[in-house]
Amino acid sequence: MAGKKKSKKTRESHPTRPTKPISRLLRLPKGPVNLAKLDTAATPGYPGVGKADAPALTQALAPELSDLQERLYANGRSEPERAPRLLVVLQGMDTSGKGGVIRHAMGLVDPQGIQLTSFKVPTEEERKHHYLWRIRKALPNPGMIGIFDRSQYEDVLVVRVEQLVPVSEWNRRYDEINAFEREVADSGTTIIKCFLHVSFAEQKQRLADRLASPAKYWKYNPKDVDARAKWPAYQEAYTDALERCNTDHAPWFVIPADRKWYRNWAVAQLVREHLIGLNLSWPDATFDVAAEKTRVAKS
């Protein structure tokens, strides 16, 4: 009885906190992956009752996220050689909500601290280079939060499903990506890879929604239906990317994405937890504070 009361109190005193760290709840365990067994509509760790609470719960993270991001940015400005960086990689099938996450979760912090890159079909120039060339160029600078809307993984996803290169070529990319991510992590970048896991049925609904409103036509791409027709091949390719590139230095998090409100809240939490993990203090003044106070007072 007493125990029950206590746990209720803990919950109430932290109404905006996840019931357990999201970075633990959504971390993809190492080993074989079975995407069909990972619930796309689950809401692990969500402290609210449902959709109605979500905007407030997500917005409640803004002050803390903003403070953490500013510390990161301040460190980047004062000690560029040593300042950490954060890289959020967003992958998922069409309509899974990469754009929604960027707007609603990443939108909670100062845009000046964000380096956003959306990777499209490679341009003519990009095609002249190794597939990691454009990725390297987009890595976040010290003190910055990089966001990849699609990423190096397209080169083992769409490229594999559409057979844009021979099997032997995409097959060796998993190890290459692991080595690349190791190098990025070793240079001081915390990598968070998010797979926005949406169901086949939910994707259909979202495509239909886009066709139901002229305000959403711009989001509709007829090619998405062609990719949808290859759903099993994409799930297989995702399974391999998740399984073969799930390292400690660049872990995968599987975000159940059928409920947009949970997805956005969960990614914001994940970023918050990782920023807290960086243990960022405000940089020391590079000048004599007392002397400067005197100068300003006298000025």
Where on the chain is the footprint of Mg ion (CB under 5 A)?
94, 221
155 binds ligand AMP (CB under 6 A): yes
Residue closest to 242 by CA, chosen among 174, 146, 185: 174
Task: Tell me the closest approach of the beta carbon of residue 90 to ligand AMP, in angstroms.
Answer: 10
**Closest to Mg ion by CB, 27 or 230:** 230
- How many Cβ atoms from other residues are within 10 Å of residue 180's Cβ? 17
Task: Tell me the closest approach of the beta carbon of residue 287 to ligand AMP, in angstroms.
Answer: 46
Residue type, 196: L
- 153 to each of 1, 85, 237, 243, how far by Cα in Å? 50, 20, 10, 12
174 binds ligand AMP (CB under 6 A): no
Among 158, 185, 233, 278, binds ligand AMP (CB under 6 A): 158
- How many Cβ atoms from other residues are within 10 Å of residue 59's Cβ? 14
Nearest residue to the partner ligand AMP, using Cβ: 154
| Residue with the two structure tokens 């949406």 | 198
Binding segment for ligand AMP (CB under 6 A), chosen from 30-38, 138-146, 155-163, 234-242, is 155-163
230 binds ligand AMP (CB under 6 A): no
**Closest to Mg ion by CB, 221 or 294:** 221
* Residue span 110-149 as binding mask against ligand AMP, x where in contact by CB under 6 A, dash where not: ---------xxxx---------------------------
**Closest to ligand AMP by CB, 119 or 180:** 119
Backbone angles phi, psi at 136, to 5 degrees: -55, -45
**Closest to Mg ion by CB, 193 or 206:** 206
Which tokens hold the place of 10?
Answer: 């803990």
Residues 6+ apart with CB under 8 A from 86: 72, 140, 144, 145, 146, 189, 190, 192, 271, 274, 275, 278
Residues 6+ apart with CB under 8 A from 215: none
**Closest to Mg ion by CB, 18 or 97:** 97
- How many Cβ atoms from other residues are within 10 Å of residue 100's Cβ? 18
Q: Which does 202 bind (CB under 5 to 8 A by kind): Mg ion, ligand AMP, none?
A: none
Residues in contact with ligand AMP by CB under 6 A are 119-122, 150, 154-155, 158-159
